């Protein structure tokens, strides 16, 4: 099943494997891929995955989390074109496939270098303080659909097959979804809170040719109590009433692939990436997190059978990964399976699996040292199995 192709819109995807977006914070200062970025993506090209979902790419300079975030512009377009050409060549020669490349378009909002927040959030501001002066104006938000459309046009010129209008993990669009307390056109009702996200999806669709893929990565629930989180009750229980309404709108606007994620890694990292090791003590068992993912994905697949659903959070399963993935696909919980930390740790895991040679010793430990590197404002990669990042991790420990 995992190796079966799938048709989405006008694109045929070679298999069900998605390499999830994994930010490296390692681009050149102009947002173009550096040697480290290129090294990571050439490994992705060799993986045999049907989809390589590129990391968060800022649509504007002020929306970057760090000065080395990926940012495709007309000035560095040729570097992206060269990278994608090389990746296609490698995938064709070494794996005999033509993978689908999706670029994730983002504005980092509260996590931008200077916080650009949707509203004052008492829980998030315990971790990163902000003031009223950091609240973005409606006039500023009005300018973003054009920027997303421009980024989508550039993505096509670079050779991507589709784009992701990202709304997850507490970044700008996701925070707006819980802007119950914000005044004006972007706060209060769901219509207002989802306005910018849907406007951008619409503008991006207009900017794309008919054969390109229109996708989104959505935190279906923040798992932060209402009124400071989306898709939850005041008691912080999962509530899919509003997410269902939103997904219905997204499907009507032409979203073809929904990459499901949950939570905000700056606030409740265990929700998005269940842990096996590392110093962080999660307030719930990994099993509860994994069951939540499956419940949400299965619910969406049942309600919106025409959407192609990508599942997340699978790296936790380590050497049971492929068995669990097959099960989820066979049970119809999702159509494609996404791997984040696993591909950083062990980029050839899928090819090795196909050859009957998956090596349990190389599987990701789900320790999230890669996230610790990011949070320490370093470049990010696997700090366990890759010597370069391991040395860097030792440095930050000192
Ligand atoms: C170092 C690191 C960087 C990440 N970068 C992104 C990103 O750019 N965009 C995104 O949507 N998710 C990002 N994520 C989340 C992953 O795509 C994925 O959802 C998460 O790691 C859970 O999946 P896993 O258990 O397979 O790792 C990142 C996660 C990590 C650990
Ligand atoms: S540091 Fe490596 S082993 Fe640990 S979670 Fe990240 S990718 Fe996995």
For 204-228, how does the pLDDT look when each residue is reduced to its tens digit (9 = 90+)? 999 999 999 999 999 999 999 999 9
Q: Is residue 243 part of a domain?
A: yes
The answer on 383 and 326 residing in a single domain is: no
**Ligand 1 center to 325 CA (angstroms):** 17
Q: Is residue 304 part of a domain?
A: yes
pLDDT the model gives residue 282? 86
The answer on 59 and 20 residing in a single domain is: yes
Question: Over the chain, what is the mean pLDDT?
Answer: 97
Which atom of ligand 1 is nearest to 381's Cα? 1
pLDDT the model gives residue 332? 97
Mean pLDDT in residue range 114-123 = 98
pLDDT the model gives residue 77? 98
pLDDT the model gives residue 179? 98
Q: Residue 265: pLDDT band by 50, 70, 90 thresholds?
A: very high
pLDDT the model gives residue 217? 98
pLDDT the model gives residue 14? 98
Which atom of ligand 2 is nearest to 373's Cα? 1
Q: Is residue 157 part of a domain?
A: yes
Q: Which of 340, 375, 380, 385 to mutate to test the pocket of ligand 1 (most atoms within 8 A of CB)?
A: 340
The answer on 374 and 265 residing in a single domain is: no
The answer on 398 and 274 residing in a single domain is: no
Q: Is the pLDDT of residue 333 over 80?
A: yes
Q: Which of 24, 277, 370 to mutate to test the pocket of ligand 2 (most atoms within 8 A of CB)?
A: 370
Q: Residue 398: pLDDT band by 50, 70, 90 thresholds?
A: confident
**Ligand 1 center to 344 CA (angstroms):** 10
The answer on 255 and 115 residing in a single domain is: yes
Taking the alpha carbons at both ends of the chain, their separation in whole angstroms is 46
CATH number of the domain at 26, please: 3.20.20.70
Q: Is the pLDDT of residue 29 over 80?
A: yes
Report residues whose beta carbon is within 6 angstroms of any ligand 1 atom.
20-23, 55-56, 104, 168, 217, 261, 272-273, 312-316, 339-342, 368, 370-371, 374, 380
Ligand number nearest to the C-alpha of 273: 1
Q: Is the pLDDT of residue 275 over 90?
A: no
pLDDT the model gives residue 57? 98
**Ligand 2 center to 389 CA (angstroms):** 10
The answer on 343 and 237 residing in a single domain is: yes
Q: Which residues pair with 216 in a beta bridge?
A: 258
For ligand 1, atom 6, the nearest C-alpha belongs to: 22
pLDDT the model gives residue 278? 74
Q: Is residue 49 part of a domain?
A: yes
Report residues whose beta carbon is within 6 angstroms of any ligand 2 atom.
341, 344-345, 364-370, 382-385
Q: Is residue 1 part of a domain?
A: no
The answer on 138 and 251 residing in a single domain is: yes
pLDDT the model gives residue 276? 81
Q: Residue 72: pLDDT band by 50, 70, 90 thresholds?
A: very high
The answer on 215 and 90 residing in a single domain is: yes
Mean pLDDT in residue range 297-316 = 97
The answer on 389 and 347 residing in a single domain is: no
Place of tokens 């509203």: 119
Domain that holds residue 164: 6-361
For ligand 1, atom 14, the nearest C-alpha belongs to: 22
Q: Is residue 17 part of a domain?
A: yes
* Inter-CA distances, 206 with 51, 156, 203, Å: 23, 13, 5
Ligand number nearest to the C-alpha of 344: 2
Mean pLDDT in residue range 271-294 = 89
Q: Is the pLDDT of residue 322 over 80?
A: yes
**Ligand 2 center to 253 CA (angstroms):** 36
**Ligand 1 center to 105 CA (angstroms):** 15
Q: Is residue 325 part of a domain?
A: yes
The answer on 67 and 48 residing in a single domain is: yes
Which atom of ligand 2 is nearest to 341's Cα? 7
Q: Is residue 391 part of a domain?
A: yes
**Ligand 2 center to 25 CA (angstroms):** 16
**Ligand 1 center to 295 CA (angstroms):** 20
The answer on 392 and 243 residing in a single domain is: no
Domain tally for the chain? Answer: 2
Percentage of the chain lying above the pLDDT 70 cut: 100
The answer on 191 and 165 residing in a single domain is: yes
């Amino acid at each position: 099943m995992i190796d079966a192709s799938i048709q989405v819109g006008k694109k045929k995807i070679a298999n069900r494997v998605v390499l999830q977006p994994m930010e490296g914070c390692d681009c050149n200062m102009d947002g173009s891929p550096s040697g480290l970025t290129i090294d990571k993506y050439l490994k992705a090209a060799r993986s045999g995955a049907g989809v390589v979902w590129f990391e968060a790419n800022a649509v504007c300079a002020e929306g970057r989390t760090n000065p080395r975030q990926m940012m495709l512009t007309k000035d560095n377009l040729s570097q992206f074109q060269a990278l994608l050409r090389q990746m296609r060549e490698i995938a064709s020669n070494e794996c005999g496939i033509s993978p689908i490349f999706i670029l994730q378009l983002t504005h980092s909002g509260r996590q931008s270098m200077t916080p650009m927040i949707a509203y004052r959030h008492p829980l998030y501001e315990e971790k990163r303080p902000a003031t009223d002066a950091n609240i973005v104006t409606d006039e500023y938000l009005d300018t973003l659909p054009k920027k997303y459309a421009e980024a989508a046009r550039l993505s096509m010129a670079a050779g991507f097959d589709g784009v992701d209008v990202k709304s997850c993990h507490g970044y700008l669009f996701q925070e707006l979804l819980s802007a119950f307390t914000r005044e004006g056109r972007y706060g209060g009702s769901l219509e207002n809170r989802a306005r910018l996200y849907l406007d951008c999806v619409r503008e991006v669709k207009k900017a794309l040719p008919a054969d390109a893929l229109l996708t989104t990565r959505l935190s279906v629930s923040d798992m932060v109590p209402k009124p400071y989180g989306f898709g939850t009750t005041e008691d912080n229980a999962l509530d899919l009433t509003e997410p269902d309404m939103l997904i219905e709108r997204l499907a009507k606007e032409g979203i073809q692939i929904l990459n499901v994620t949950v939570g905000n890694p700056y606030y409740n990292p265990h929700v998005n990436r269940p842990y096996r090791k590392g110093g962080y003590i999660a307030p719930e068992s990994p099993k509860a997190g994994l069951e939540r993912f499956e419940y949400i994905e299965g619910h969406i697949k049942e309600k919106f059978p025409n959407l192609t659903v990508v599942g997340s959070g699978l790296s936790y399963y380590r050497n049971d990964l492929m068995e669990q993935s097959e099960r989820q696909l066979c049970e119809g919980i999702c159509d494609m399976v996404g791997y984040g930390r696993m591909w950083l740790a062990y980029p050839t895991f899928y090819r090795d699996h196909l050859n009957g040679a998956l090596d349990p010793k190389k599987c990701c430990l789900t320790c999230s040292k890669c996230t610790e590197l990011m949070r320490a404002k370093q470049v990010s990669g696997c700090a366990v199995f890759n010597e370069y990042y391991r040395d860097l991790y030792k440095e930050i420990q000192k």
